[in-house]
Amino acid sequence: MRNDQQVLLRAAIAAIRHCADAMDAQATGLLESLPAVAISEALRANALQLTAGLKDASGRVTFELALLQTELADNGAVAATAVKRLSAMDATMMSALAAMTDVVDQLEEAAERDERHEPVFVLVIEATGVLLQALEQARAATEALVAALRVIPP
């Protein structure tokens, strides 16, 4: 792998790690806050379940990153394999975050009906916004690596 490709690979790994760390931090904050906010029990249960899914996804991605980095350090992984695995990690995080959109919609409707539900809507929408930005950075870094591997001959 060429030096510029290695730089892009390190950038993609760092961006995915940042996204997984942000996902873990946001999920932890939500798991701590959701039990105490004004919300219906059914919606709380759904939000807690999906938030636990965020935490699980971040843990799986962090584990996969550690494995990939070990393989790269041992020169056991090639660039194409690394890109596939990084793309799969992006997809794992995107899937977990996409599941949150239903809860965001439900919380928005609840907040429109009763202003006491507005703080929980704001809490979840802000966490989702942070995660969308981090995920976009991770996906952009992975796409830059893919583009470099396609354009620059091995």
Could you read off the pLDDT of 43-97 as tens digits, one per residue?
999 999 999 999 999 999 999 999 999 888 877 567 778 899 999 999 999 999 9
> Which burial class, exposed, middle or buried, applies to 113 when counting CB atoms under 10 A from its CB (0-12, 13-18, 19+)?
exposed
- Looking at the structure of the chain, the number of domains it has is 1
The CATH number that applies at residue 52 is 1.20.120
Question: Residue 30's domain spans which residues?
Answer: 3-151
Distance of CA 21 to the CA centre of its chain: 8
Contact 50, 27 (CB under 8 A): no
DSSP designation for 39: -
Pairwise CA distance, residues 96 & 47, whole Å? 12
- To the question of pTM greater than 0.85 for the whole model, the response is yes
Confidence of residue 136 (pLDDT cuts 50, 70, 90): very high
pLDDT in tens, 123-135: 999 999 999 999 9
